[in-house]
């Protein structure tokens, strides 16, 4: 088997603000497999400053993987060896699935990929000044989103809470579900008042209110407050099954959020789902700012999971140079039109 990789830089239409800073570009790496007249493509959704495998020798690891793929007869055997390189592990798994697919880039055939079904997603409001965030809100509501997720923790919290109050004055929780994502922005000692207000506003959940790694403090928040807490970054960098169990049993969150690019791919994410469901913990799937290619693969996989909560799979429209694809948004949902063709010609291997 011949294997190669390439880097592709995605340019955001406008800077995307989080509590960790402002994102203007995002690098993705693609693995291509060629064997027996077929081609498989996978996206390694690395996110600088957040992925567990954001390391200086990342590209050297891709070189080594391509050399190993050229020598092995069973490429699936290489997946476990990539445990501490989760985005590369996810990209290789995706490429292998594509190589085996009957139709190019349809990794998980279903009513979704046949164009009959859509998936509910949340509309994402990025951080910025008050007017910018309100403008995003109006745009998402006009497009028919029934679930809104707002990034918080970068501007004054009172301004952010003011936006949420304005939304609730217009739409009750039965009309519009609101989620917030703090990306670890708050301090465990002063977050209680914020959680109280969010609970009073009937916010669905808050993602990662404090920084990852503070298991004891996070456990107290989860166990002593009515406000539902979802873990996101907390899952990153936990590779062993026993460590996953220990974390879930210690913190006991209401939800976990699954980003396959951060967790090692689809099978690894399914292990998290199984462990969560055994403990009565809810979950939903979110992209990690992948291109339309990775987003499509994740959406196809997510549809077959039959999760009932709206996913965070609507980020493909962020970029000026994304790939033309069968994906499109329809009234607050993501859909796949099999009549539309992929244009991946800008990928140069």
Band of pLDDT at residue 18, cut at 50, 70 and 90: low
Rounded percentage of the chain residues whose pLDDT exceeds 70: 98
Check whether 17 has a pLDDT greater than 90.
no
Q: Which CATH architecture has domain 2-100?
A: 2-Layer Sandwich (3.30)
CA neighbor of 207 nearest in space, from 297, 312, 86, 52 = 312
Which one of the listed residues 212, 244, 259, 268 is annotated catalytic? 259
The pTM for the full model equals 0.95
DSSP3 helix / strand / coil % (the chain, rounded to 5): 40, 25, 40
Mean pLDDT of all residues in the chain?
A: 94
Domain 119-336: assigned CATH number: 3.20.20.120
pLDDT digits (tens, 9 = 90+) for 194-239: 999 999 999 999 999 999 999 999 999 999 999 999 999 999 999 9
pLDDT score at 136: 87
Return phi, psi of residue 347, to 5°. Answer: -80, 120
Q: Is 151 a catalytic residue?
A: yes
When pLDDT is averaged across residues 18-33 and rounded to a whole number, the result is: 84
Which one of the listed residues 151, 211, 244, 268 is annotated catalytic? 151
Tokens of 312: 């965070």
Check whether 19 has a pLDDT greater than 60.
no
Radius of gyration of the chain from its Cα atoms, rounded to whole angstroms: 20
Domains of the chain by residue range? 2-100, 119-336
pLDDT digits (tens, 9 = 90+) for 249-284: 999 999 999 999 999 999 999 999 999 999 999 999
- What is the rounded CA–CA span in Å between residue 240 and residue 272? 11
Q: Is 2 a catalytic residue?
A: no
């Amino acid at each position: 088997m011949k294997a190669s990789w390439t880097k592709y830089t995605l340019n955001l239409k406008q800077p995307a603000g989080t509590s960790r800073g402002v994102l203007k570009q995002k690098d993705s790496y693609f693995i291509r497999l060629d064997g027996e007249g077929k081609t498989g493509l996978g996206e390694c959704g690395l996110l600088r400053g957040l992925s567990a495998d954001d390391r200086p020798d990342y590209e050297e690891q891709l070189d080594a993987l391509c050399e190993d793929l050229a020598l092995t007869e069973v490429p699936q055997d290489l997946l476990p060896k990539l445990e501490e390189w989760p985005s590369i592990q996810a990209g290789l798994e995706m490429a292998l699935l594509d190589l085996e697919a009957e139709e190019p880039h349809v990794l998980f055939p279903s009513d979704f990929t046949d164009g009959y079904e859509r998936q509910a997603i949340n509309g994402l409001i990025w951080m910025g000044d008050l007017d910018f965030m309100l403008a995003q809100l109006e745009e998402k509501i006009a497009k028919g989103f029934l679930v809104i997720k707002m990034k918080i923790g970068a501007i004054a919290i009172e301004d952010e809470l003011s936006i949420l109050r304005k939304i609730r004055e217009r739409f009750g929780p039965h009309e519009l579900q609101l989620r917030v994502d703090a990306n670890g922005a708050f301090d465990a000692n002063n977050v209680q008042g914020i959680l109280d207000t969010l609970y009073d506003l009937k916010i669905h959940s808050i993602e990662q209110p404090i920084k990852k790694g503070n298991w004891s403090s996070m456990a107290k928040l989860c166990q002593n407050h009515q406000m539902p807490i979802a873990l996101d970054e907390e899952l990153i960098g936990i590779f062993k099954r026993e460590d996953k169990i220990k974390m879930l049993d210690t913190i006991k969150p209401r939800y976990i959020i699954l980003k396959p690019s951060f967790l090692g791919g689809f099978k690894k994410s399914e292990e998290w789902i199984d462990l969560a469901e055994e403990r009565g913990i809810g979950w939903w799937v979110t992209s990690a700012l992948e291109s339309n290619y990775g987003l499509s693969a994740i959406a196809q996989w997510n549809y077959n999971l039959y999760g009932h909560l709206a996913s965070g799979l609507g980020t493909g429209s962020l970029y000026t140079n994304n790939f033309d694809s069968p994906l499109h948004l329809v009234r607050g949902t993501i859909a796949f039109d099999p009549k539309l063709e992929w244009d991946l010609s800008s990928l140069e291997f």
